[in-house]
């Protein structure tokens, strides 16, 4: 039989985490379950107070719609391109900032600026810069490079590229800060030993820097993927809600429009739960494939 004092010491850690569990249950678990409940009803503007249980009807509708697959692949392209440039630009700049540079503090502050400015202000600013006639992007292309102006918002492809450029500009500072923190924790002795062995700069980066950055880059990449996958503000504001002709939607803007433009709350709840499941599967698979939980220091 356990002594009373030993039993209390075992339960003490659980008492410490209990407030966090209660708060997280209220702000995360309850909305998730409430959303799941709505997804099984026909709740809409016409059936807001008298919503009826309709089972899996919304899920069947979503799976059989061609729109789901079209928007899904656009979301995959949107997420993959953004995260690729976030990570590659962020790691490159982190490696540069980890060197002995004059004015490094000022340069670091300058590079963090896109992350520090509110996202909606950046999105609206870039939207103005992409204006066909007066936007600075087209003016630069014309005057500096002699190119024709690009129809950023009247052509579906360019209208999709415009928010992508905006989001790349917004997202790389986060990866840069994360990678810079990881770089500063790598012992310099590894690089000194590699230099003695005659390793090139690229070999040091491939054999030392990247493997040792992996434990922080994997969770940062998962976070970046989820944030980008669910990024509503940039694409919604830059394209004015999916213009032209709803050709620039990703899943989250598609759901937002279904919920708050067409008032299909049950349908939007089911769609959002499908998005949640997609991201959950991605996170689990990515952690296993990337071996992000494994330690690299021996």
Higher pLDDT, 138 or 243: 138
pLDDT value for 244: 87
Residue 262 DSSP one-character state: S
Query: pLDDT-based confidence at 99, cuts 50/70/90?
Result: confident
Higher pLDDT, 5 or 12: 12
Structure confidence by residue, pLDDT tens digits, 46-56:
888 888 999 99
**In the numeric block, which tokens belong to residue 71?**
């928007």
pLDDT value for 4: 58
The answer on pLDDT for 246 being more than 90 is no
* % of the chain surpassing 70 pLDDT: 94
- When pLDDT is averaged across residues 190-208 and rounded to a whole number, the result is 88
The answer on pLDDT for 158 being more than 50 is yes
What is the rounded distance in angstroms from the CA atom of residue 168 to the CA atom of residue 99?
A: 24
What is the rounded distance in angstroms from the CA atom of residue 267 to the CA atom of residue 67?
A: 13
**In the numeric block, which tokens belong to residue 6?**
């030993």
The answer on pLDDT for 136 being more than 50 is yes
pLDDT value for 198: 86
pLDDT value for 25: 84
- When pLDDT is averaged across residues 173-197 and rounded to a whole number, the result is 89
Query: pLDDT-based confidence at 166, cuts 50/70/90?
Result: very high
Maximum CA extent, the chain: 85
Long-range CB contacts for residues 208-212, cutoff 8 Å, separation at least 24: 209/95, 209/183, 211/296, 212/182, 212/186, 212/296, 212/297
In the three-class reduction of DSSP (H, G, I as helix; E, B as strand; rest coil), residue 257 is classed as helix
The answer on pLDDT for 121 being more than 70 is yes
Neighbours of 273 (CB within 10 A): 19
- Residue 203 near residue 194, CB atoms below 8 Å: yes
- When pLDDT is averaged across residues 110-119 and rounded to a whole number, the result is 84
The answer on pLDDT for 201 being more than 70 is yes
Q: Whose structure tokens read 């007066």?
A: 134
Query: pLDDT-based confidence at 269, cuts 50/70/90?
Result: very high
Question: Which segments of the chain does DSSP mark as H helices, in order?
Answer: 4-24, 30-39, 57-64, 66-97, 104-116, 119-129, 136-145, 156-184, 188-196, 201-204, 210-229, 233-238, 251-260, 265-290
Query: pLDDT-based confidence at 15, cuts 50/70/90?
Result: confident
Query: pLDDT-based confidence at 118, cuts 50/70/90?
Result: confident
Query: pLDDT-based confidence at 2, cuts 50/70/90?
Result: low
- When pLDDT is averaged across residues 125-144 and rounded to a whole number, the result is 92
The answer on pLDDT for 292 being more than 60 is no
pLDDT value for 298: 47
The answer on pLDDT for 9 being more than 80 is no
- When pLDDT is averaged across residues 37-59 and rounded to a whole number, the result is 91
Query: pLDDT-based confidence at 237, cuts 50/70/90?
Result: very high
Chain mean pLDDT for the chain: 87
């Amino acid at each position: 039989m356990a002594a009373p004092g030993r039993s209390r010491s075992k339960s003490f850690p659980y008492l410490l985490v209990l407030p966090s569990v209660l708060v997280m249950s209220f702000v995360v678990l309850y909305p998730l379950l409430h959303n799941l409940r709505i997804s099984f009803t026909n709740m809409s503007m016409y059936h807001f107070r008298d919503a009826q249980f309709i089972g899996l009807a919304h899920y069947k509708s979503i799976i059989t719609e061609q729109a789901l697959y079209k928007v899904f692949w656009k979301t995959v392209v949107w997420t993959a391109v953004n995260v690729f440039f976030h990570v590659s630009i962020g790691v490159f700049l982190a490696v540069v900032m980890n060197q002995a540079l004059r004015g490094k503090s000022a340069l670091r502050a300058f590079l963090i600026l896109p992350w520090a400015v509110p996202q909606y202000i950046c999105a609206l600013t870039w939207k103005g810069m992409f204006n066909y006639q007066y936007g600075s992007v087209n003016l630069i292309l014309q005057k500096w490079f002699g190119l024709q102006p690009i129809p950023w918002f009247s052509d579906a492809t360019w209208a999709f590229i415009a928010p992508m450029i905006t989001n790349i500009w917004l997202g790389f500072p986060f990866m840069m800060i994360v990678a810079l923190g990881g770089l500063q924790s790598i012992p310099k002795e590894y690089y000194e030993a590699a230099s003695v062995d005659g390793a090139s700069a690229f070999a040091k980066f491939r054999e030392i820097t990247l493997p040792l950055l992996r434990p922080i880059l994997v969770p940062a990449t998962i976070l970046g993927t989820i944030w980008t996958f669910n990024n509503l503000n940039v694409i919604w504001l830059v394209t004015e809600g999916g213009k032209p002709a709803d050709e620039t939607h990703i899943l989250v803007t598609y759901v937002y429009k279904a919920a708050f433009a067409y008032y299909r709350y049950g349908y939007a709840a089911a769609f959002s739960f499908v998005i949640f499941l997609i991201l959950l599967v991605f996170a689990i698979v990515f952690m296993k494939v990337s071996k992000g939980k494994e330690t690299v220091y021996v």
